[in-house]
Amino acid sequence: MHYNSTGSSLWSEAGNRKALKAQETGIGMVAMAPSSDEGICKSMVETHGYECEEHTVTTEDGYILSVQRIPMGRSGGTRGTGTRPPVLLQHGLLMDAITWLLLPPEQSLALVLSDNGYDVWLANSRGTKYSKGHTSLSPNDPGYWDWSWDELVAYDLPATIQYVYDQTGQKLHYVGHSQGTLMALAAFSKDEVLNMLRSAALLCPIAYMGQLTSPLAKNAADAFIAETVYWLGLDEFDPRGETVVKLLKEICSKPGVDCTNLLTSFTGQNCCLNSSIVNMFLDHEPQPSATKNMVHLAQMIRQGTITMYDYVDVVENMKHYGQPTPPAYNMTGIPNDFPLFVSYGGADALADVNDVKLLLGSLKDHDGDKFVVQYRDDYAHADYVMAENAKQDVYDPLIAFFRLQ
């Protein structure tokens, strides 16, 4: 059984072992990845009996993003616009909108929200499989990959939110996971997009990364792996590509880094994933990102700060920012009366508890009745989108929070 040709063996080895075990025990078989001409609607939503629409959004800097809309639940009811509150789901790093559809329909957040009366919209960040379009560049052009999450904050997020707002004629709820929370927090700190939102739910919130415990991510940042890939002239960071896999294997051979389960070495020990979902995950993810984005995240890990991309060269920084060092995103700038739901896990190696506490410290003056913080001791980074008990443990409280806003 095998998932992708070049360089995927590192990712699929862990999956293969699980798949064989699953076959022995009769647990679910591996679903094959959709052929590239099939969008997310056809391959992941309509198959479960939900209506789904494919939309595209063009950002101010020319990226053409794929957005899916699930206008109503399986049980029917009133259609999208006007009657159902819209909610936008934004995936994390090296993922795409399939994040929200990996679990069975009665457990995956996108479909649970739909069945609960929401008009559900799924975002796909630039560079991922279904968002590779651009008005003038091709993914083979280095310029196509010249961005970090600063651009996701400045362009992708506002374009997508504006589009949903315009289409539905009402303010929306937002759900972010991982990098999807970083994008939102950075935008909120500058008081952007808030006028189009009712509330936000942040799962595994990432603002600070200086204390992350993932041995793989920590070693990669300390060894300047992303910078190495960048200097080699690879503008696209493809986790399944030969170069990245080679560098990952080098880190994996270091003492104290165990990559028998590559997912765990990134995310921390997830409590509640079954083996068939790991195979499902490996069929669709990980997705590419810009190498420049990985460099930006590595800077945050090494420095423990949340600033814009550092060109490390005073002249370059002056050119881009008009100052010798990159401007900081100030988390205390998030308006205290904006409704926030935050959920984080004790076993998360990427959104580490101590880093989340730094963020919560910046939010200490937030209005008590507009702020819900949930802590799950046994949850790690992937549990929030893949755990078999995530519906009752996280999604039900999240929906209850939305209903109050």
Is residue 371 within 8 Å of residue 340, measured between CB atoms?
yes
> What pLDDT was estimated at residue 91?
98
> What pLDDT was estimated at residue 35?
38
Regarding predicted confidence, which is higher, 403 or 3?
A: 403
> What pLDDT was estimated at residue 166?
97
Confidence of residue 255 (pLDDT cuts 50, 70, 90): confident
> What pLDDT was estimated at residue 81?
57
What average pLDDT does range 278-301 have in this prediction?
91
Sequence-distant (6+) residues with CB within 8 A of 280 are 30, 31, 102
Confidence of residue 24 (pLDDT cuts 50, 70, 90): very low
> What pLDDT was estimated at residue 11?
63
Confidence of residue 106 (pLDDT cuts 50, 70, 90): very high
Residue from 69, 65, 243, 266 nearest 151 by CA: 65
Confidence of residue 79 (pLDDT cuts 50, 70, 90): low
- Strand pairing class (236-237; 371-376): unpaired
What average pLDDT does range 251-257 have in this prediction?
81
Regarding predicted confidence, which is higher, 385 or 266?
A: 385
Q: What are the tens digits of pLDDT across the range 44-57?
A: 999 999 999 999 99
The yes-or-no verdict on residue 165 having pLDDT over 80 is yes
> What pLDDT was estimated at residue 18?
40
**What does the mean pLDDT of the chain come to?**
89
> What pLDDT was estimated at residue 282?
82
Question: Which sequence positions are flagged as catalytic?
Answer: 178, 348, 381
d(CA 332, CA 364): 9
The yes-or-no verdict on residue 274 having pLDDT over 90 is no
- What is the topology classification, in CATH, of domain 40-403? Rossmann fold (3.40.50)
H helices of 204-345, where? 215-222, 225-231, 242-252, 262-267, 275-284, 291-303, 314-321
d(CA 194, CA 403): 18
The yes-or-no verdict on residue 118 having pLDDT over 90 is yes
For residue 389, give the DSSP letter.
Answer: T
Q: What are the tens digits of pLDDT across the range 171-213?
A: 999 999 999 999 999 999 999 999 999 999 999 999 999 999 9
The yes-or-no verdict on residue 340 having pLDDT over 80 is yes
Region of 320 on the Ramachandran plot (φ > 0 left; ψ -120 to 50 alpha; else beta):
alpha
Tokens of 324: 């010798």
> What pLDDT was estimated at residue 53?
97
